[in-house]
Structures are given as structure tokens and as C-alpha cells.
Chain A
């Protein structure tokens, strides 16, 4: 699941529930549509409501990060659930994307 808020040119995207190989393509499409259609400078990924994620989610986040960097946007993580946090730590994503 995905919802978002846009305030002062900061786009905060909240992902919730499970992120895996089965539902990543749908999320990718929704995220790319938001990135394309909204005007913002900073992009915040909130994973507080994520109950499960695996390396497919890491690939999904990395792909969006690359795209956003090319567009000159600032990218950071908002809140994270313990489940998401551990996968982000092990995958080394925190070395590329800072936590707010």
C-alpha cells in the first residue's frame, strides 16, 4: 500500500504492509507516476508501516533513488519499522540514503 503528502515541496511517501517480488512492480509504477506528476524538491520514504520487506524492496528503493538523483532531488528515509530497518541496515542502503 502507498499514500503520500506533499508539503512545502517535500513529497513524503508512506509504504505500508508487505513489500516483496509479488507486489513490487505495482508499487514501482505508482511511485514513478508520483515522481513524474508532482512538483517537489525533497523525497522522503516512510517505512514505519512496513510489516515485511526483502531484497526486492531494496532494489525498488535503489531504482527510485537513482532516478530521483538524476532529477536533482534530495532523498531521505523517514520513520522505519524494525523489520524494514534491519533489511536497510544489512543491505547498506543507509550509507547511500540518510535517515531524517
Chain B
């Protein structure tokens, strides 16, 4: 068993904290620098979504990150109990954003999908969102 569990408030400062923490956790398996960078980017996207969309930047919101390494495979879950996504399929489309006026690119899920080996998103309006990602830590 090799697991990591972190619970933090939806603060902007936790974007860099969480991506660095998960990057450092993955590093114990000696992945390439590019793999660590991919993981950090994907975690940053998921955590930013939880803060900006899930909790509308309300720091009372709680973000939970659960990770596991099993046989060289890293699984990351980023979970919030925020407002949820009404249409996940639509949200995952390239360039789709509900906040165009704030210069959001609408590429968060596109980047998570491209940078990780697997991406699954579960969401219920009013209940929150769970982003589950996988990445092989060695070739």
C-alpha cells in the first residue's frame, strides 16, 4: 500500500501546494521530469476547476486529493463538494467555458486528458465533482 491523502481549503495558494505535493509524491518512483511536469499540470487544472467553478472562489470549500501508487501506476482523485457540473460532456469539450469574460481558456480538461493516461469525471449538480486521473510512472 502506498497512498496519500490531503484535505485543504479552496485557496489559490493551494493550487501550487497541491501540484507540488503530488509531483513530489510521484517522484519516489523516479519518473522522467516530463512525467512529473505532466502530473503537476493536470493536478493544477483539476484544483483550479474546483476552486473557480466548484466553489466560486469561496475558501470555506474543501478540496480532497487522494493518490495511490500501485505497481508503478499513479492514480489521483481531486474531489470537491461544490456546485457540480450540469453537463460533463459539454464541460469537457475543447474551449468550452462558462467564464469567457474572465479569460478562461476552456482547455482545462483538454490538458488533463492530453497530459495523463486516463481521465474520468463524475459530477452531480449541487453535490460536487470528482476528477480521477491515472499516469504510468515508468515506461
Contacts and interface: CB of A to CB of B under 8 A. Distances in A.
A21 B52 contact: yes
Secondary structure class of chain A's binding surface, majority of residues: helix
B114 interface: yes
Chain B interface residue bracket vs A: 20 to 34
A56 interface: yes
A91 B111 contact: yes
Nearest to A62: B105
Interface string A1-41: 00000000000000000101110000010000000000000
A97 interface: no
Contact of A59 (B13, B103, B115): B103
Interface of B: 12-13, 15-16, 19, 34, 37-38, 40-41, 44-45, 48, 51-52, 102-108, 110-111, 114-115
A58 B107 contact: yes
Contact of A90 (B15, B34, B111): B111
Contacts of A90: 107, 110-111, 114-115
Contacts of B15: 20-22
A42 interface: no
